[in-house]
């Protein structure tokens, strides 16, 4: 799906499909150089990171492993409950492994901070974070992110895995959602 299918729903396009793919290629090259001669386990955070992780992995020129987690810090509403729950845990034992958490977006950093702590307690060789997007103005918890695709303003963005009410995930670009859609 491209932006012509949702005319009027976006204020603007922040990143095109081509820009996203180019940046993911750069990130993959940086990660490969950092981990030369070492096995890598990419851990995607469901559901938003599906597109990012799939395309990031395709940019690698060597073998790597992938696994998935689903975590939630929200109750029934839109405010964080303060409690993080694992909805789907890893299938892989990460002890002694080089783990890279792959995220679509980091905003408050609260859930990600908890996730890093949880994974670190499982005795991996290392845990690093790669995210396509980060909202520096929204951060409430300091999180050490090694690879960032783009820093963006604190706006509601959709596309390329990012959703509003489970819509827009399959948009090939990333754009700012028009307020009339969610107000």
Catalytic residues: 107
Q: Which two tokens stand for residue 146?
A: 């090694």
How many of the other CB atoms lie within 10 Å of CB of 44? 25
Q: Which two tokens stand for residue 95?
A: 């002890």
Collapse the DSSP code of 144 into the 3-class scheme (helix H, G, I; strand E, B; otherwise coil) and give the result: coil
Dihedral (CA of 48, 142, 179, 78) sign = positive
Q: Which residues pair with 72 in a beta bridge?
A: 85
Q: Which two tokens stand for residue 136?
A: 């520096």
Decide: residue 132, CB within 10 A, 0-12 exposed, 13-18 middle, 19+ buried: buried
Phi, psi of 8 (to 5 degrees): 90, -15
How many of the other CB atoms lie within 10 Å of CB of 179? 10
């Amino acid at each position: 799906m491209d932006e012509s299918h949702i005319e009027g729903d976006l204020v603007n396009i922040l990143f095109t499909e081509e820009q996203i793919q180019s940046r993911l290629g750069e990130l993959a090259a940086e990660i490969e150089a950092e981990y030369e001669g070492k096995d890598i386990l990419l851990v995607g955070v469901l559901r938003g990171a599906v597109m990012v992780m799939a395309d990031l992995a395709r940019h690698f020129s060597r073998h790597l492993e992938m696994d998935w987690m689903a975590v939630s810090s929200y109750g029934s509403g839109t405010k964080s409950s303060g409690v993080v729950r694992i909805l789907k845990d890893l299938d892989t034992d990460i002890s002694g492994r080089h783990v890279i958490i792959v995220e679509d977006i980091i905003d408050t950093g609260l859930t990600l901070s908890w996730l890093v702590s949880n994974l670190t307690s499982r005795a991996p060789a290392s845990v690093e974070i790669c995210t396509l997007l980060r909202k520096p103005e929204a951060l409430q918890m300091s999180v050490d992110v090694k690879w960032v695709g783009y820093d963006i303003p604190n706006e509601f963005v959709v596309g390329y895995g990012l959703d509003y009410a489970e819509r827009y995930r399959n948009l090939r670009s990333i754009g700012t959602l028009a307020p009339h859609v969610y107000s």
